[in-house]
Structure formats: C-alpha cells, structure tokens
Structure 1
Amino acid sequence: MPTGVVAVVLVPDEEGLISPYDLYELSTVSMVFGPSHADLAEPWYELRVIGPAPHGVHGLDALAGADTVVVPSAPETMADGRQEVPGELVAALREAYAAGARMVSMCTGAFVLAAAGLLDGHRAVVHRTYAPSLAARHPRVTVDASVLYTDGGRVLTCAGAAAGLDLCLHLVRKDLGAAVAGALADRLVVAPHRSGDRPQFVAAPLPADPEDPLGRVLQWALEHLDEPLTVEGLARRALMSPRTFHRRVREVHGTTPLRWLLDQRVARARALLESTDLPVERVGEASGLGSAANLRRHFTRAVGVSPTAYRRSFTPSGPPSRGR
C-alpha cells in the first residue's frame, strides 16, 4: 500500500454545487498523485476525494490519516464572504493539521484554510484578483499576490489554475526527487519546474520565428551561459544597437537584458543543483555566475535560500508518512 495519502476536499456552494475551477484543480491533483503514475516510484501516493456525490467518494472522516490535504478553489460565495465555511469542515481541517498533515490550498481554497486559522502567521498566495479580499478578511495572513506558489513547510498555497500543477509537481520533487518529478512532467507534457517565486504575470516566451534576430541571439545566449556575455556583445550579434536591443528585450520579456541574463543563469544553477552533485564552485562556473561566493550572493537574493540549502531541500525524502 502507498504511504503518502493525499486527500482532496471539494467544497460545494450553498446549493451543493462544485465550481468548474474546483473540478479543474481536482483533475490536476488526480493527474499528479493518481495511481496511473505508480510505476514511477515505490511507494506512490494514495488519493482520496472528499466531497458530495457524484464527485466525492469519501466523507470528512477520510481526512483521518491523510498526509497531505488539498483544498481546491472555494465557491465565490465563500471568497466574498456571503457564505461561511462549514464548521464541521473547519474542525476536520484543524484536526488533520494537528495530526501532522501538510495543508495545501489552490487559489480561493486559501479562504477555507484561513477560516480554519491554518494560514495565520504564514505567507499565502491567491490569484491577484482575490488578494485584497483575503488580506482584509484575514489580517493575520501575509498575502502575496505576486508569485505562483508559496511553501511554508507544512502550509503551501498557490494562485490556482496552471500554478496548481506547478505546486503539485513541486511536492513530488520534495517527496521523491527531481528525477521522478521530471519524468512525471514529461508524461504530462509540461515544464519540469517553475519556481514558486516566479510572477503570476508570465512574460512572452522567446520568439518562435527562427528568422527573428532577437530570438536567435537569446537562444544562443542560453546555450553559452557559462561564457562571459555582455549586453553590448549580444546586441552586436543581433545586429542591433545596445539601445534598440534593450528596448526589444523589454518589449518581449518585460525586463532588462541584464536581468533576463541573470534570471537564466539562476535558473541554470537551480537545474544543476537539483539534478547533479556538482560542487557549488562548478555550479557557479557552469551557470555563468562565477565563483562560489558570487553564486551564493545572486542565488540567495533571487531564491531566498543558499545554493546548499536549496539542494538539500530537493533531496528525496519519500512521500510524507507518519509511520503507518
């Protein structure tokens, strides 16, 4: 039997209906933690869907023994305060948390965890359109509307929709390692990792047109991150003046060329720390960030933890279990 029990709690509105967003996020959780991927690791997860028929197959008593509790989007009536979170659900969530479960919300599911007091003192994210309401109704929660997801250890939140898939893959990476999460992402045809601190606004990707000079030179830069690169040199390669090159990068990516380059180097360092055992000094060289000290400075500023701590957090620990 799998040891990591993931319980998804569907929260109906006052008429007993489940929202389309709730069902979308249920599908996301099922795709990631469902039994169809059990061949990727042993043990895999056990998935329980809690909620009203026909979507749910368990009652709230199935939260007992859950290792991870996921609350997808709550009804609009709960997000805007017209509907209270049921007392029995609040009590069940508190009991699960007290028993050691980690708690996960997707978008407006944060209102449910907040009603149970489980987000007090934590940084939490919802879609930016709901952030003012969450902050006003739950002042003890530090609301961040700028990122995709947050990881506070036992309390995790995300902005919903695609960010929900990012957060689920993040949990697999924590539990089973980058290789398993990467294999799963490959099956799902999605990017293997988008860090939680990425902005909810997604800048335009590299231009797809192979004849586009900006797209060509930025693709070339990605293939040569370990070499000395300058804005002036990239502009020359793109047959542009530095001023025009700066303007075009900002138009397409919403940032400066130097910032874009630094972001790509940090992303390369992340990938190397997750998937290799290269010494930190070599990671700095291979990513173009230079010395170990320079890597630590830029990496810690961008990610919030040191390279060594980041690598440690992605060492497979196995699905969360309390010894069953």
Structure 2
Amino acid sequence: MRTETTVADIRLLIMPLPEFAMLPFGGFLDKLRFTADEADYSRQRYCTWRILGLETGSIKSSSGIAIQVQTTTAEINYADFDYLVVFGGRNAQATQALAPRYKNILRKAVGHGVKLVCIDNACFLLAACGLLTGHKVALHWRHEAEFRASFPRIEVVSGQMYCFDGERISCAGGMAAIDLAIEMLARACGRSRALKGLADMLVDEARSSSHELRSLDIEAATSRHTGRAIALMRSLLSTSKTIDELAGMVGISRRQLDRQFLSEHGMTAKNYWNELRLQHVQWRLLNSAHSIAVIADEAGIADVSYLGKIFRKRFGMSPAQCRKASPGMPSDL
C-alpha cells in the first residue's frame, strides 16, 4: 500500500499562460485527478501537480475565469518535477510575445531535466524561446500556417493531436489534452491506471495521436481521395503547389480530382483550395494583429492587392473592413 510520503510516479508543474483556454486545461487536470487516487477523493498519490505562475495571485483564462496560482517561479525547485506543462493563450501572436518574460524560466526547467509540454498555442512561446529547435511539433490545424510562416525551420506534424519527440511534447489543445494526459500517465503509471475515470468523464475511449477528426469541416462526408486532398490543401496552404501536383500526391489525375470535387462539393479542386485560403485569411484577420502581407503569405497569396480584390468579391468587404469588425484588433494595416 502506497504511503503519503512515497514519491509519485509522475510529477507535473502546470503553467497556464494569460488568456489560456479552459477546455484543454480542465480536461487535462481532471484526467490527472482521476488517475492520482485509488478512489475519487482527488488525493495526489500516483501523480502530483502544482499550478505555477510568475507571481502570486491568479491567471485569467480566455473565458474570464481565473485560476489561482499555487506556487511561483521564484519558489519552485524544478528538480522535484518531471514535466512542465504550458497551456497557451488564445492569441498565438500574443503568446509568442511572452518569450522575454518566460524564456529564462523555461530554460531553467530544461536545465534541471524537466521535460517541456506545450498545449494549444504554447508551442509559439517555446519556439520563440528557441526550445523547439530540432524537434517536431503538433498544433491546432487553424494555426499550422501561422506557425510554419513564423518558424519555417521547425517541423510541423500535420494531422496529429499530440506528438512525443524526446524531451518535448506538444498537443493541439481542446479535447486532445485528455488524450495526451492518458498517454503521459500510461507511460508513467501503466495503461490501466491511466484509463481510470474515463467513464466518469463521459469519454468513450483514448484516441491515438493520429486520430482523424470526423468533425473537421465536411471531410467525413467525402471520398478517400477528396478527403486526402483537403488535408493536403490545409497543410500546404502557404506553398506554391499546383492542383496537378496535389492530384499526383493523392494518386489520381487532375481530371479525376476535379470530377470528384464537383460531385461532392460543387466546385473544382482549385476553387475549393482558393476558398480554404480565403477562409483562413478571414479567420486570421479576426483573430490576430498580423499585417495583411503576413497573412497573405501564410495563405500562399503573394500579391496583397490581388488578395484585396478576391477577398472583397468573396466577402463583400475589404480585409481592413473585415478586421474592423473584430473587437480589439488594430485597423492600421
């Protein structure tokens, strides 16, 4: 029988960044709670954790709910922990800008042998601190193009919910944080204990890192070839790849690919890819402060004036007018 003084199988520092998302944070933490105890008393026996912050007080999430800091970076002994789990903020650009404040903290943890885990947009912070160099990273599909543009030398693994790569672990966020927690706990505490509590969380099963989301757009209703093509379109958004090249990667001819897209989506493959690009531009205008030139580059559109023309035709307004519709986003482009 394990005593209260026995060292836990896995010890984690949990560090939410300003404007962190509650969904991955709550899911990850609750999975730890179920595994930590024999019953459901939330006792930290098999795994332990502390909420880490730069200073005492609380950290506000993107939903406005604040989480109380349990220990500060000035107080912590990193040698007492195995992992530092960082939950990213809502805005990737703002999260990346935190690098000067967090760089020394993260490097100190690494110096003590602590493995770094970045969840959601926290990968932008670790990359800006130079801590993902030589590592692969999994991140939310909405931010892949932005990350590739900002850190072109870091390999992004598309279509994965989480990625273990040596001393660095990354996760796309959302409900995938639960799956990541299960895998981390399985490696430390065993599969049986890691799966404990899933029924209480109303989770059917643990999903693998390569699990394909059926809810992603309308790909679940597409054929194998169009589904694969759409996934490639998203991961190759910023490139100069042609539809002919894309068809070759899928393994069919350009004519066959267009025929399937017309049948399933009512438009050619080229028009579908253009729509994906414009949807990306619109989302980035509403959710970041990057310039139109930067966003256009992410979407593989070299001419900003051309982007303005096709954007207005599609959405009935200019990119600048679109950005003005988003509270808190600068209108000076």
* 8 Å Cα contact 1:71/1:112 also seen in 2: no
- Whether 1:8 and 2:28 are equivalent positions in the alignment is no
- 3-state SS in 1 of match to 2:139: coil
Per-residue deviation, residues 64-121 of structure 1 (Å, max 9, x unmatched)? 2321111112241xx1268622424111111112211111111101111212222111
Say whether residues 1:71 and 2:86 are aligned partners: yes
Asked if 1:95 is matched to 2:108, the reply is yes
Contact 1:147 1:200 in 2 (8 A): no
**Where does 1:171-190 land on structure 2 (aligned, <5 Å)?**
171-190=184-203
In structure 2, stretches of 5+ residues that fail to align are 59-66, 226-333
Indicate the residue corresponding to 1:31 in structure 2. 30
Q: What is the CA–CA distance in structure 2 between the aligned matches of 1:30 and 1:36, rounded to whole Å?
A: 10
SS in 2 for 1:184: coil
SS of residue matched to 1:8:
strand
Q: Contact 2:35–2:194 (CA<8 Å) still a contact in 1? A: no
Instruction: Give the deviation of 1:189 after TM superposition.
Output: 2.3
TM-score (norm 2): 0.54
C-alpha contact 1:11 1:75 (8 A) present in aligned 2: no
Which of the numbers 48, 51, 58 marks the counterpart of 2:50? 48
Find the partner of 2:121 among 96, 105, 108: 108
Q: 1:121 to 1:201 in 2, by over 3 A?
A: farther
Q: Which has the higher contact order (CA 8 A, sep 6+)?
A: 1
The correspondence of residues 231-242 of structure 1 with structure 2, limited to 5 A, is none
2:153 to 135, 140, 152: 140
CA distance in 2, matches of 1:82, 1:163: 20
The alignment's C-alpha RMSD in Å is: 3.0
Query: Cα distance 1:172–1:36, how it changes in 2: closer, same or farther (>3 A)?
Result: closer
Residues 1:97 and 1:138: Cα distance change in structure 2 (over 3 Å) = same
Q: Distance in 2 between matches of 1:106 and 1:143?
A: 14
Q: Which residue of 2 aligns with 1:281?
A: none
TM-score when scaled to structure 1? 0.55
Matched residues in 1 for 2:88 and 2:204: separation? 23
CA contact (8 A) 2:35 2:47 kept: no
Once the two structures are superposed, the pairs formed by residues 163-202 of structure 1 within 5 Å of their partners are: 163-202=176-215
1:139 Cα deviation from its structure 2 partner: 2.3
**C-alpha distance in 1 between matches for 2:200 and 2:95:** 41
**Separation in structure 2 between the aligned mates of residue 151 and residue 110 of structure 1, nearest angstrom:** 13
**Residues 102 and 155 of structure 1 are in contact (CA less than 8 Å); yes or no, is this contact kept in structure 2?**
yes
Alignment of 1:224-263 (within 5 A): 255=224
- Cα distance between partner residues in 2 of 1:164 and 1:254: 29
Q: Give the Cα–Cα distance (whole angstroms) in 2 for the partners of residues 36 and 94 of structure 1.
A: 29
Equivalents in 2 of 1:81, 1:42: separation in Å? Answer: 33
Name the % identity: 20
Q: Report the CA distance between 1:163 and its aligned residue.
A: 0.8
Q: Which of 172, 175, 187 does residue 159 from structure 1 map onto? A: 172
The amino acid across from 1:44 in the alignment is Y
